[in-house]
Structure 1
Amino acid sequence: MLVMTLVLAAVGFTLLVIALMTGSVLWAWGCIAVCVAGAVLLLVSALASRKAGPAVAPADTKNGDVESDHGDSDGNSAQG
């Protein structure tokens, strides 16, 4: 969803440049419409990520201490 927001921002900027070069109000209104759509999409994305809850923090690997969720108490695992 964030990629679509970036695409809409780029399209809006392009429409703004075209509106300034041609002096046409129609291109400017197109820019406004695209930018509003991008802002709505960004707001929906932000609200959806807030509703989903906090992301899981990565394991602390500074001191080499990595906790395993595999149930192996001695640290041996079949994964390579």
Structure 2
Amino acid sequence: MDIGNHTLSTLFAQLGLDNEPTAIQTFIKEHRLPAAIELAQAPFWNQAQASFLQEAWRADSDWCDVIDELNTLLH
């Protein structure tokens, strides 16, 4: 079990996305979400990414803080 401190960079890497700071900023600018759509339900995730986000959140894992940060940034 990974118990390290997670950042947006490590979350993007976990999701299989480019985790360079400029790539993260671009992703956030290009993937805005309406308030009614939950993060894990966003249409731009593949099934594995959506499952990871949903399961990590439901399990109250050590990823929750950074997932919440991403959720805020996308909304």
Same fold (TM over 0.5): no
TM-score (norm 1): 0.28
Q: Which has the higher contact order (CA 8 A, sep 6+)?
A: 2
TM-score (norm 2): 0.29
Max radius of gyration: which structure? 1
